[in-house]
Structure 1
Amino acid sequence: MTRVTIADVARAAEVSTATVSNALNGTGRLADSTRARVRTVATALGYGSTGAAPRTLGLAVTTYGERPWNFADVPYFARAISAATAAAHERGYALIALPATPDETVWRSIAVAGVLVLDSPADDPVVRVLRARGIPLAFDGRPAGVHPHEAWVDNDHRATTHQVLDHLADRGARRIALMAGPGEEHYTRSCLAAYRRWCVEHDTEPRTIALTPEDDEGRDLDPLLRGPGRPDAVYGIYDPCGRRVLASAARCGLRVPDDLLVVCASEDPAYATTDPPLSTVSLAPQETVALAVAALVEIVEHPDREPEPAIVPAHLQIRASTGPGGSRARGA
């Protein structure tokens, strides 16, 4: 990799090279705020360093675009960060998990060799800034558009969604609802499309449930689970879905799995000890992220090579929430 130039600093700070020179040399007539910002950007990029370019990778979760949130509390992303760190260290790189923030200054000034982006939505503002800076990118979760010399790793969400729905139908479910979050990334869009396609193929009406971020106790579900023609199975594609469905079912007097079957996509091991233990789908982030980091390092070190995308199978862990023994499974 080449060392950072004055043109790199000017592009990141969105000023002219003359302004960069004046800011760093203490010359010219510049506003104090401009001088300070240029110096901050230059330092962050490593301009003037006698060493090599940074052997540091960034990790960014951009699911909700510019909305700030603490993704490290979500088991999927916590496992992804751990896997990415281990994969980076194996290849001689440090890794930093960057905050979800609407402040573009972070993305315009961060000094990294490349960035791993998780669950990038369409028109991702973070990706736009990083591409403008020429920073190599790899994606965990297929992005809306892939540029040349970028890599992505994902699961087959259509196949996984159909596997879960077929499993629920085999257990006797006839009114299966899909609970999805507000994200606009490929994962959500792909799962919703696969669910609607499955419903058409099985001549059943689709029932989608919005995951309300603030509804930790799942009370928004109560009218649905108490109402006429209520779902007899729910597949939640985000980590909180399972806990919320179980809480709502208990308030509504529904027994799981006898009255309601439940599956949740989650990496949270606590679902193995809920009452009843919940069937879960693992998207295998320890595998997808490790492959994405390997691809990112390959792009950084061999920018002339075109990487290949990769698909990693998801895993359905069947537990008591959809296991045999429920009244509908016995044909009652």
Structure 2
Amino acid sequence: MTDRRPRPTIHDVARRAGVSATTVSHTFSGKGVVATATRERVRVAAKSLGYRPDVVAQGLRSNRLGVIALVLRPLETLDSFLPEGVDYFLRFAGSAALAAMELGYGLMLVSDPTREESPAAALACDGFLITEPVVNDPLIEMLLDEGVPFLSVGRDPARVDYTDWLDTETEVMTGHVLRHLADCGASRVALVVGTDSNSWNLGAEAAYRAWAVERGQDPLVAVRPETAGEAGGREAADELFDRADPPDAVYCLTGRHAAGVLARVRERGLAIPGDVQIVGGSDSEHTRSATPPITSVDLQPEILARVAVTSLTNRLDDRSRPVPPGPLHGRLVVRQSTR
């Protein structure tokens, strides 16, 4: 048997024609405004590559498919689509699927359609849910250009030109955590954030820095990639506790970082919570099974998912179904890592 030749993609045509993937899409769908010369250049490039537009997806887009696409943006930067100990995404996806079913829709978990390896049929879905978009998120740009309804959980921090997003109140929750630590006697609090450029990291850091200035404390911020997991937390602990003026409390936005900080602090001979208090910004198996268990924020992804699905399907169906009530910033679960 001979190897099957890879099918050229919209991105291959875009590179050959020297245009964006959106321009290629508009050329074949008839949407948007594409100059005649550019449209011809795109068609020539497509012909030379043997590209054929996905007529199935185009046909489905003209009718109601009854499916919502879910893009879990943070998972695309982690080490696995099932990262060890992280249950937020599974809880969100499961609740979203059930909520969608109750409202007459199916849910399809997809990778970012702007990436070459993503199936083109994803764009046939009636609408998109996107969790924690990044700065200038290319998927949001594509969906806005294509006129595909969507809702993002968290806002693209660089965009002010869209309103279809849920405020997860990251700054509010950060304030709750910092006040809890202060009430427990902490006087010098540090923050460990990830490197993803989303509103979760950026909003929490901004709220922390403002809080530190109000208290007359120099901000102590350690930055580690989410992919570094517990090892990243250990590195962050060394950075913070090698200082001449180390913190007496640490707020880590991810559970894996929090578990790593706790382990390294104990290895350095410090007591938890006697010498150092620790809080995790996202409850997980790592925070629940640590010794001692780590005080954490339960982000309540089940509630977030139900609110997101109801809000999006209301828009798709032009309905006004009641949206589940309550705050979206999660709740603090106090355990033995704080006093």
TM class by shorter-chain length?
Answer: 0.7 to 0.9
Q: Percent identity?
A: 29
- 8 Å CA contact 2:256–2:286 kept in 1: the answer is no
- 8 Å CA contact 1:152–1:310 kept in 2: the answer is no
Structure 1 pair 87–12 and aligned structure 2 pair: CA distance change class (3 A): farther
Aligned to 2:230: 216
Aligned to 1:23: none
- 1:231 is paired with a residue of what secondary structure? coil
**TM-score (norm. length: structure 2):** 0.77
Aligned to 1:95: 107
- 2:205 is paired with a residue of what secondary structure? helix
Aligned to 2:213: 200
One-letter code aligned to 1:290: R
Residues 230-282 of structure 1 show CA distances to partners (whole Å, capped at 9, x for unaligned) of 11110011232211111211221111111110000123145233200110012
One-letter code aligned to 2:101: H
Alpha-carbon distance between aligned partners in 2 of 1:139 and 1:272, rounded to the nearest angstrom: 28
- 8 Å CA contact 2:66–2:106 kept in 1: the answer is yes
Residues 99-144 of structure 1 show CA distances to partners (whole Å, capped at 9, x for unaligned) of 2576257376521000001101221001111221111011111333
Question: Tell me, which stretches of 5 or more residues in structure 2 are unaligned?
Answer: 1-21, 31-43
Greater helix proportion: 2
- 8 Å CA contact 1:122–1:184 kept in 2: the answer is yes
Structure 1 pair 260–30 and aligned structure 2 pair: CA distance change class (3 A): closer
One-letter code aligned to 2:213: V
- 8 Å CA contact 1:62–1:124 kept in 2: the answer is no
TM-superposed deviation, 1:228: 2.0
Residues 157-209 of structure 1 show CA distances to partners (whole Å, capped at 9, x for unaligned) of 22211111111112221110011001211121111111011111111111001
Aligned residue pairs: how many? 296
Identify which of 92, 95, 98 aligns with 1:86: 98
User: Structure 2 matches for 1:139-178, cutoff 5 A?
Assistant: 139-144=152-157, 145=159, 147=161, 150-178=163-191
Matched, 1:121 2:134: yes
> CA-atom RMSD, angstroms?
3.2
Matched, 1:275 2:291: yes
- 8 Å CA contact 2:181–2:338 kept in 1: the answer is yes
Aligned to 2:255: 239
Structure 1 pair 211–86 and aligned structure 2 pair: CA distance change class (3 A): same
TM-superposed deviation, 1:320: 0.3
Higher relative CO (Cα under 8 Å, sequence separation at least 6) belongs to 1
